[in-house]
Each structure stands twice: as structure tokens, then as C-alpha cells.
């Protein structure tokens, strides 16, 4: 009873922080003619409510695709329609066709923020609670601490409740998939992840680990017996889920093809804004977009992405344990973020979710990464006027992670699992190597704090207007690349040793 009281307090605190951030500004507030992501989500509600489904993804006189055209899979469109249905009952002006463009009011902002919170309460937060209590080790106190830290991860809160998006829906479905696979419900896990894919196509970042884990598990139990039946069940679950999500568009191949074109736009180029991945960072030294054609850029990113995720995927295929699955989720999503085509800064949230799932196992490295992931979105958050919530939530998360999860105390050689580095740094003892990593953490936090302050209070030189965003993205890129290498090495190390602990509920 006491444990679940603490869980209720954690959920309540998570809701309060989310709502507190939602009181701030949002993407594109008062900035015509395109406004921002807030208007994009509102506009999709307008389009899906007023137009027949066969016009949602097509350019028409009533649906200008150059004005925030729908470019997410069908489940996002259905969610937009559902929100619009409620909006129309409250105030029809919010979703009036064409005339509602750029609509802004305190009451509409309240409605839009509420839709994000309701989605989180229904999908994301329950999945986090169940994951922490059924798939993490340790005492009840450790599980509650992990739960609180995941719920207060600032990156997701600042983007969904500040900038304005519904990442909690797709990430929540993906987490339900992880939870189901961890409990042995493979078909249900496949359904949940298929829903995540049908909500946001960027969930492809997690697709290879799901595929390799289920295939490796089938091979392990025997493809001529139970393994074959498992594959059949999983394939049937995936096909049925996709068929139901795409049903309105399957009657006409042209409709389905147009949806695919919209959700996989290749005409936008290798990258747009400053993002902490390989191509944007490399472009500061070598102008890749000027040297290579669009097709060459696409093939180059595809090749490097496949090479980046291949070792992790093969390892998972040959050793399909749940620990390997969690590490593969990190490595796959980071590999896609670092090397794939047309990456947005907000896509780091796809790598942040699986890292959150390792907060109980590897708190030191997880907190380090999650702080860097929030920092990497600083230029976007400053643009949206979210400096104060960025500072408050980041400092609170860092303090809670260090205090509740004993992250600094668990930065010793055994907890960091540095065995694999002994051969590389043979001149250093385990204790010396752990001390070096700890000092790198302190320096890293100092650099991120310094760049955050500098970006907020100083104007860049006139001849270098993008100086601070470039420094932020380059610094974050170095963090992500280092952690990507670390987690790949970790995946090829042995399974974690389980320490026997007395229950202390």
C-alpha cells in the first residue's frame, strides 16, 4: 500500500511538472504566416475533420500541402480527427476550414495542452509505471525512484508540453511493445509497436531491434517447431494491425502510395536545421550538400546507417535476451539519429526512451546521455521562449538522478562495466579509468552549462550568426557519438551480474 501511494505521488508530480511547462510559450506563438508545430497539429485537426479521408494527403484547393500538409501515418490522422471532434463541440471556430488558420487564444491553448496530457495519461504514463515495477530489478524504493526520474525526463516534457507535439503517444506505444516482449507476450508487443509505427514513421529507429529480437527468439526455440508458430503469430499480428490502420486507403493504390510519399519525403535534403548528428557536424568542415547530389546524399546516409546498426542487430539476433534487446534499442536509435537522412533535433527523443529504460541498470551513463539530449535541443527551446523551464527541469532531473539513483556513487568500475576497456587502456587500472570517466562527466556538465548560459545571454558575432547553435550541436554530437560507441562495446560484453539484495519495501 505504501509503495503504490508513492507511485501515485510520482505520477501526480509528473503531471504537475508537465502542466507547469505547458503554461509557457509554444512553437510559433504569434509568428505568422506559418506559425509552428502548434499550428501544424491544430491544422491537421482542421483538415481531418472537414475533408474526406481521401483528401487528407493530397494537395487540393482546401488542403494546401505547403501549409503544414499532413506528413505522418494514418494513426496520427485519426488522433487529429478525434481531437477535432471534441474541439468542434467546444468551439467550432477552432477547426473551421481555412478560416481557422493561425488561430490562437487562451482557451484553445488550454484545450490543446489538455489533449497532450490526456494522451500521456492514457498511453505513456501507465506504460512507464508497469515497466518500472515488472521489468526492473531492485527494491520498491529503487523502482519508485526510477519511475520518478523517467517521468521527469525534461527532453520529452519540454517538447510535448512546451514546443508542442504528441511524442508521448508513439513512444508510449513503443514502450507498451517493450513491456509486452519483456513479459513474454510477443504478439501483443508486436501489435503495440505496429501502432507506434503507424503513429510516427520515425519509430523505424526501433524497428530492427524488435525484428531481430523476435526472429532470434524464434530461431533459438526452433524454426521447425515453436519458433515457426511464434513467427506466424507475430506476422499475423503485425499484418492485421497495419491493415486496420491503413484500411481507408487500401481500396485505391494511388491513395496508399500518396500516403507513403508524404511520410517519407526525400526532397528536403540531408538535413535542415542545426542537428547534433554526423552530417550536420561534418558539414561545418566539408560542405557535403554542395559536393554531393541529392541522390548521393541519400545513398551515403543509407549505407552509413545500415553499417552503424548492423553490429548491434547481429548481436541481438544471435543472443536474443531482454538485456541485449534494451541495448540494441539504444544502439539502433542512436545509429539512425547519427547517420540517417533528414534527421530533426527532436528525433533524439527516440534514443532517449530506451536510455530511460536503463536508468535503473546504468544510472550514471543514462543520466549523462539524457542531460546531453535535452541540451542538444537548446536552440529550438530558446527559439520557443522556453529557457526558464529548460533550466528548472534540467537541474531538477540532474539532482534527482544523482540523489535518488545514487548515480555518482554508482560510477565505480563495476557499475560502469568498464571491463572491455581494460585492453584498450591497459596502462590504467579499473579505478583510474572510472575516475577519468567521472571527471569527463564533470567537465561535460560544465561545458553544457556554459554553452547554455552563453547562448541565452550573448549575441553571436554578426559574421557568425549561427555560432552558438553550431557549438551546441557539435558538442552534443560528440556526446552522442561517444555514448553510441560505449553502448555498442557494452552490448558485446557479458550479461550484467545480478546482485542479490535484501528486500526493503
In a domain, 399, yes or no: yes
Q: Please state, in angstroms and rounded to a whole number, the distance separating the CA atoms of residues 29 and 27.
A: 6
Q: What is the pLDDT of residues 288-340, one digit of tens each?
A: 888 888 888 889 999 999 999 999 999 999 999 999 999 999 999 999 999 99
* Most confident of the following: 138-152, 218-232, 408-422, 430-444: 138-152
Q: What is the mean pLDDT of residues 241-257?
A: 94
**pTM of the complete model:** 0.94
Residue 43 lies in a domain: no
DSSP state of 417: T
Q: Please give the mean pLDDT across all residues of the chain.
A: 91
HEC letters along 248-308: HHCCCHHHHHHHHHHHCCCCCCCCCCCCCCHHHHHHCCCCHHHHCCHHHHHHHHHHHHHHH
The predicted structure's pLDDT at residue 412: 55
The pLDDT score that the predictor gives to residue 373 is 97
Indicate whether 500 belongs to any domain.
no
Total domains in the chain come to: 1
> Average pLDDT, stretch 438-444?
92
* Mean pLDDT for the stretch of residues 392-407: 92
pLDDT of residue 502: 37
Share of the chain above pLDDT 90, in %: 78
What proportion of the chain, given as a percentage, has pLDDT over 70?
93
- Please indicate, yes or no, if residue 78 is contained in any of the structural domains: no
- The least confident of 108-112, 127-131, 283-287, 347-351 is 283-287
Residue 60 maps to a domain:
no
What's the pLDDT band for 129 if we cut at 50, 70, 90?
Answer: very high
Task: Evaluate whether 184 touches 226 at the Cβ level (below 8 Å).
Answer: no
What DSSP assignment string belongs to 39-106?
HHHHHHHHHHHHS-GGGTTS-BTTB-TTTT---S-HHHHHHHHHHHHHHHHH-GGGG-TTTTTT---H
* Residue 84 maps to a domain: no
Q: How confident is the model at residue 13 (pLDDT cuts 50, 70, 90)?
A: very high
Please state, as a whole number, how many other Cβ atoms lie within 10 Å of the Cβ of residue 223. Answer: 14
Domain carrying residue 294: 2-29+104-491
Domain membership of residue 323 (yes or no) is yes
Amino acid at each position: 500500500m505504501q509503495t503504490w501511494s508513492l507511485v501515485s505521488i510520482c505520477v501526480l508530480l509528473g503531471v504537475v511538472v508537465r502542466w507547469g511547462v505547458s503554461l509557457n510559450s509554444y512553437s510559433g506563438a504569434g509568428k505568422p504566416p506559418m506559425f509552428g508545430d502548434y499550428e501544424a497539429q491544430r491544422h491537421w485537426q482542421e483538415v481531418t475533420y472537414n475533408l474526406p479521408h481521401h483528401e487528407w494527403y493530397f494537395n487540393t484547393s482546401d488542403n494546401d500541402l505547403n501549409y503544414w500538409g499532413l506528413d505522418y501515418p494514418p494513426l496520427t490522422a485519426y488522433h487529429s480527427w478525434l481531437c477535432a471532434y471534441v474541439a468542434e463541440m467546444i468551439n467550432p471556430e477552432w477547426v473551421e476550414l481555412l478560416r481557422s488558420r493561425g488561430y490562437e487564444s487562451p482557451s484553445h491553448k488550454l484545450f490543446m495542452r489538455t489533449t497532450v496530457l490526456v494522451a500521456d495519461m492514457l498511453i505513456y504514463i501507465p506504460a512507464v509505471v508497469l515497466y518500472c515495477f515488472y521489468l526492473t530489478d531492485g527494491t520498491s524504493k529503487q523502482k519508485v525512484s526510477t519511475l520518478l526520474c523517467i517521468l521527469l525526463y525534461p527532453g520529452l516534457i519540454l517538447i510535448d508540453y512546451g514546443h508542442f507535439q504528441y511524442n508521448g503517444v508513439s513512444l508510449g506505444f513503443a514502450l507498451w511493445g517493450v513491456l509486452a516482449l519483456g513479459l513474454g507476450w510477443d504478439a501483443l508487443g508486436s501489435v503495440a509497436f505496429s501502432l507506434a509505427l503507424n503513429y510516427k514513421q520515425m519509430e523505424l529507429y526501433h524497428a530492427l531491434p524488435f525484428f531481430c529480437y523476435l526472429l532470434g527468439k524464434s530461431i533459438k526455440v526452433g524454426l521447425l517447431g515453436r519458433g515457426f508458430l511464434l513467427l506466424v503469430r507475430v506476422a499475423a499480428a503485425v499484418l492485421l494491425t497495419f491493415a486496420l490502420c491503413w484500411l481507408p486507403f487500401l481500396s485505391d493504390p494511388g491513395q496508399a502510395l500518396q500516403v507513403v510519399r508524404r511520410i517519407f519525403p526525400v526532397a528536403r535534403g540531408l538535413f535542415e536545421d542545426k542537428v547534433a548528428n554526423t552530417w550536420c557536424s561534418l558539414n561545418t568542415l566539408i560542405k557535403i550538400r554542395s559536393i554531393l547530389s541529392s541522390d548521393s546524399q541519400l545513398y551515403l546516409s543509407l549505407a552509413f546507417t545500415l553499417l552503424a546498426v548492423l553490429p548491434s542487430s547481429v548481436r541481438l539476433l544471435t543472443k536474443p535476451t531482454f538485456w541485449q534487446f534494451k541495448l540494441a534499442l539504444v544502439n539502433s536509435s542512436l545509429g539512425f539519429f547519427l547517420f540517417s537522412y533528414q534527421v530533426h533535433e527532436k528525433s533524439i527523443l527516440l534514443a532517449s526512451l530506451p536510455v530511460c529504460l536503463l536508468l535503473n541498470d546504468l544510472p550514471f551513463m543514462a543520466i549523462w546521455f539524457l542531460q546531453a539530449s535535452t541540451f542538444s535541443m537548446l536552440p529550438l527551446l530558446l527559439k520557443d521562449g522556453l529557457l526558464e523551464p529548460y533550466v528548472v527541469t534540467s537541474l531538477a532531473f540532474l539532482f534527482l538522478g544523482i540523489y535518488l539513483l545514487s548515480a555518482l556513487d554508482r560510477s565505480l568500475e563495476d557499475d560502469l562495466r568498464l571491463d572491455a576497456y581494460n585492453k584498450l587502456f591497459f596502462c590504467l587500472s579499473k579505478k583510474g579509468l572510472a575516475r577519468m570517466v567521472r571527471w569527463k562527466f564533470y567537465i561535460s556538465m560544465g561545458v553544457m552549462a556554459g554553452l547554455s548560459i552563453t547562448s541565452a545571454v550573448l549575441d553571436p558575432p554578426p559574421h557568425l550568426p549561427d555560432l552558438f547553435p553550431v557549438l551546441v550541436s557539435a558538442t552534443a554530437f560528440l556526446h552522442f557519438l561517444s555514448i553510441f560507441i560505449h553502448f555498442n562495446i557494452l552490448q558485446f560484453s557479458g550479461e550484467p551480474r545480478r546482485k542479490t539484495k535484501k528486500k526493503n519495501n
